Structure 1
Amino acid sequence: MTWLLVIAGAAVGAPLRYLTDRFVQARHDTAFPWGTLTANVLGSLLLGVLTGAATLGDHRLHLLIGTGLCGALTTYSTFSYETLQLVGVGARLYALINLALTLTSGLGAFSVGHAVAQAMST
C-alpha cells in the first residue's frame, strides 16, 4: 500500500516539476537552467518543512510528499545533464554558477524550511 502513496505524490510532483521549469524558463532568454534550479530549490524547501515537522506527521505523509512529490519535483539527473550541456557548449561559467547555486540554494532552502517547521512546532 505504501507504494501507492509514493506513486500518488510522484503523479503530482512530476508534472509540477515540468510546469515549473517551463514557466520559469519561458521568462528568461538565456541558456542558464533557471527552471530546473527553481524546481530543485522549491522541492528542497518543501522537504525541509516536512522533515522539520517530522514529529507531527506520520510516515504516510513522508511517503506521499517527501518521497513521491519531492522526489519527482526535484531532479538531480536533469541538473547534471544541464550542467554538462553548459560545459559542452563552452558556457563553463554558467555551469559553475549552476553547480554553486543549486548546491547552496538547495541546502539553504532545506535548512530554512526545516527551521521554520521546527519553530512552528514548538
Structure 2
Amino acid sequence: MRGRGDIVGSIAAGGAIGALARWGLAELIPHGTGEFATSTLIANVVGAFLIGVLMVVVVEVMQPTRLVRPFLGVGVLGGFTTFSTYTLDLHEMLREGHPGAAAAYLVVTLVGGLAATAAAIAVTRHLLVREGAQ
C-alpha cells in the first residue's frame, strides 16, 4: 500500500461515481424481484462498451498516466457495471419461476457485453485513425 494511496483514492472516488450512476439508472428503470433486470443489463453492456473505448484511448493514444485507468476503468466503470447484481437477478428469476427470462438475461448480458467491448474497440480505433489521433 505504501506509495499507492493516490491509486486507492482514485479507485474509491471513481467507484463512488460509478455506483451512484448505476443507482440512478436503477431508479430510472426499476424492476421487481424476479423480473427481467433491464437497468442491470444496460449498465453491464454500456459499461463493457465504455471499457473498450477507454482501453483503446488509454493504451493506444494517451501518454502513460498513473491514475486514469484506476480512476475510470477500475473505479467509475467498475462501480457502474454490476455482475454481482446480475447473478442475483438470475437467481431471483429462476426462484420466481422464469427460467426462459433468466436464460435470455444470461445470454444477452454475456454476449452483449463481449460484443459491446469488441465494437467499442473497433469503432474507437476507426474514429481515431480517421481523425489522425493515433
**1:112 CA displacement:** 1.2
Residue 115 of structure 1 is aligned with which of 111, 122, 125? 122
* Structure label with greater radius of gyration: 2
| Residue 42, structure 1, aligned to residue 49, structure 2 | no
TM-score (norm 2): 0.83
Flag structure 1 segments of 5+ consecutive residues without an equivalent: none
Q: CA RMSD in A?
A: 1.7
Deviates more, 1:56-65 or 1:44-53: 56-65
The count of corresponding residues between Structure 1 and Structure 2 is 120
**What is the alpha-carbon distance in structure 1 between the residues aligned to residue 113 and residue 60 of structure 2?**
23
**What is the alpha-carbon distance in structure 2 between the residues aligned to residue 110 and residue 93 of structure 1?**
26
TM-score (norm 1): 0.90
**What is the alpha-carbon distance in structure 1 between the residues aligned to residue 73 and residue 18 of structure 2?**
10
- Report the 3-state secondary structure (helix = DSSP H, G, I; strand = E; otherwise coil) of the residue aligned with 1:25: coil
| Residue 90, structure 1, aligned to residue 100, structure 2 | no
CA contact (8 A) 1:50 1:117 kept: no
* 1:75-109: CA deviation from partner (whole Å, max 9, x where unpaired): 11100000011001110001000001101111111
Partner residue in 2 for 1:7:
12
Flag structure 2 segments of 5+ consecutive residues without an equivalent: 1-5, 130-134
**1:15 CA displacement:** 0.5
Partner residue in 2 for 1:64:
71
* 1:1-36: CA deviation from partner (whole Å, max 9, x where unpaired): 11111112111100101111221236x9x9110010
